[in-house]
């Protein structure tokens, strides 16, 4: 059974998964905010944003920005609770749906953090094209992932695990270039998130 279908059918395991993501995203958010300025944006959409932890931290540190967490309906419900607990319901909304269907969420910054590594190139192409369809020419896509290097045996181990677990894979920078090009994007910037485990691949539409 696909891993995210399993999570939907096993709420206790999903709760455990979301708790793990929350702890991870809290740490990564601090590191991310030390290198990336979100203040030029008006509306940030976190696609596959889980319980909203990352976006909540971004919004707390960037007061004039609005946000939206997009995830599967049962996960978006959890995000709505977290957003309310953080008194951000006025500035941050949620939407439940699938990124394999056409999206109707509008923003000038779209985040995909640790989403693409769950999927095959073909499925990633579908996600990227759906995001691309709703992006304006000035909008930015921020992909946050680890970048596979030939001597990174830890990530190669995760690559193997994620392939077994979800049919996904970790990718090298040239894999990302190829994937993005096939969905009509081009990389505009690469920013290493300290201490160096993750990278922001900033991309724009190739038009």
Ligand X SMILES: C[S@@+](CC[C@H](N)C(=O)[O-])C[C@H]1O[C@@H](n2cnc3c(N)ncnc32)[C@H](O)[C@@H]1O
Binding region for ligand X (CB under 6 A):
4, 21, 25, 48-50, 71-72, 75, 98-100, 113-115, 118
C-alpha 77/C-alpha 93 separation (Å) is 11
CB nearer ligand X, residue 54 or residue 180: 54
Q: How far is the CB of 17 from ligand X (least distance, A)?
A: 8
128 HSE (CA, 13 A, CB side): 28
Give me the residue label for tokens 């709505």.
80
CB nearer ligand X, residue 100 or residue 160: 100
Which of the following is catalytic: 10, 43, 74, 117? 117
CB nearer ligand X, residue 43 or residue 96: 96
Judge whether 65 and 59 are in contact, CB under 8 Å. yes
Whether 117 is catalytic: yes
| Strand ordering across the sheet containing 92-96 | 92-96, 66-71, 43-47, 109-113, 140-145, 198-205, 185-193
Token pair for 159 = 């690559």
Judge whether 103 and 134 are in contact, CB under 8 Å. yes
Q: How far is the CB of 203 from ligand X (least distance, A)?
A: 16
Token pair for 90 = 């006025």
CB nearer ligand X, residue 57 or residue 71: 71
Q: How far is the CB of 25 from ligand X (least distance, A)?
A: 4
Judge whether 131 and 86 are in contact, CB under 8 Å. no
Q: How far is the CB of 118 from ligand X (least distance, A)?
A: 6
Instruction: Tell me which residue has its CB nearest to ligand X.
Output: 48
C-alpha 103/C-alpha 117 separation (Å) is 20
Q: Which residues pair with 146 in a beta bridge?
A: none
Residues annotated as part of the active site: 117
């Amino acid at each position: 059974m696909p891993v995210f279908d399993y999570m939907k059918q096993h709420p206790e395991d999903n709760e455990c998964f979301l708790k793990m993501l929350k702890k991870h995203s809290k740490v990564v958010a601090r590191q991310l905010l030390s290198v990336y300025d979100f203040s030029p944006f008006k509306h940030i959409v976190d696609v596959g944003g889980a319980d909203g932890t990352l976006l909540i931290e971004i919004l707390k540190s960037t007061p004039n920005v609005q946000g939206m967490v997009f995830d599967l309906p049962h996960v978006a419900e959890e995000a709505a609770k977290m957003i309310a607990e953080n008194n951000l319901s006025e500035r941050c909304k949620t939407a439940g749906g699938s990124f394999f269907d056409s999206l109707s969420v509008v923003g000038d910054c779209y985040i995909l953090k640790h989403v693409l590594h769950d999927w095959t190139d073909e499925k990633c192409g579908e996600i990227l094209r759906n995001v691309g369809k709703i992006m304006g020419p000035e909008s930015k896509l921020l992909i946050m992932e680890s970048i596979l290097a030939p001597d990174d045996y830890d990530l190669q181990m995760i690559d193997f695990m994620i392939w077994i677990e979800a049919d996904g894979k970790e990718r090298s920078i040239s894999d990302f270039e190829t994937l993005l090009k096939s969905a009509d994007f081009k990389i505009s910037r690469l920013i290493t998130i300290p201490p160096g485990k993750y990278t922001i691949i900033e991309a724009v539409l190739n038009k």
